[in-house]
Amino acid sequence: MAHRPALQRVVVSGLGLVTPLGNGVRTSWKGLVGGRSGVASLGTEFEDLPVSIGACVPRGEEPGQLDMTKYKSRAQSVNFIAFALEAAEEALKDANWKPTTYEEQCRTGVAIGSGVGNIEDIVDAGAKMANPRGFRKISPYFLPRILINLAAGHVSIEHGLRGPNHACSTACATGAHAIGDAYRMIERGDADVMVCGGTESSMDRLSVAGFARAQVRIPDSVCPLS
């Protein structure tokens, strides 16, 4: 009779947050317990839609804001990818984990998912393709900017993580499923450390219109764990 191998214990050792309440765990938690709302007007661009308010990540160079100028490359400047990079960096620092040996890198993986990723670039590319010569206007970065797994991919590249690399897409349950998948990878010995969570930024006109028609909330945040 085959015996089931002993399962490894799993603990959360670090946190990272990018939310409408601010950039970072401390800022977000302070806003949460202080009863502050992250909901605000989306601007005149959305006034003709049934929903013109949303909860957006504050961007800028002020304390508690996400400085998007850090992500200058075309492949990393997409919101949902930048959110994942920012939160993953905080989670790894919080966990005091920086793999230096090849073995440590191979035993550290990433599981970060997204529901829809980057719809805005798809809408833009579709508009360009309506032109007879639109093919030449499509950026070579188009696919790397829209693929769901690229958030996890860029986190692994940025930190040299060679372990399991996984991305699920299960709508609003994505973050919970990614954390659960990472939990099982550690539990079963596939990795010693996993950076995991969910990332989303669906604040373009098409996404807002779609969510409004479905009468659901519009997410714009990320919550990785290490």
Domain residue ranges in the chain: 18-214
Q: Which CATH class is domain 18-214?
A: alpha beta
Determine which of 30-34, 49-53, 95-99, 196-200 has the lowest per-residue pLDDT on average: 49-53
Where is pLDDT greater, at 223 or 102? 102
Res. 15 pLDDT band, cuts 50 70 90: very high
Q: Specify the DSSP class assigned to residue 161.
A: -
Closest CA to 86 of 119, 59, 116, 115: 59
- Strands 53-55 and 39-41 come out as antiparallel
Cα maximum dimension of the chain: 68
| DSSP bridge partners of 197 | 112
Q: What is the pLDDT of residue 102?
A: 97
pLDDT at residue number 223: 60
Phi, psi of 108 (to 5 degrees): -120, 120
Angle (CA) 222 139 73, round 5°? 50
* Residue-wise burial string across 152-166, b where 16 or more C-beta atoms lie within 10 A, e elsewhere: bbbbbeebebbbbbb
pTM, 2 dp = 0.91
89-137 pLDDT, tens per residue?
Answer: 999 999 999 999 999 999 999 999 999 999 999 999 999 999 888 899 9
Residue 195's pLDDT is: 98
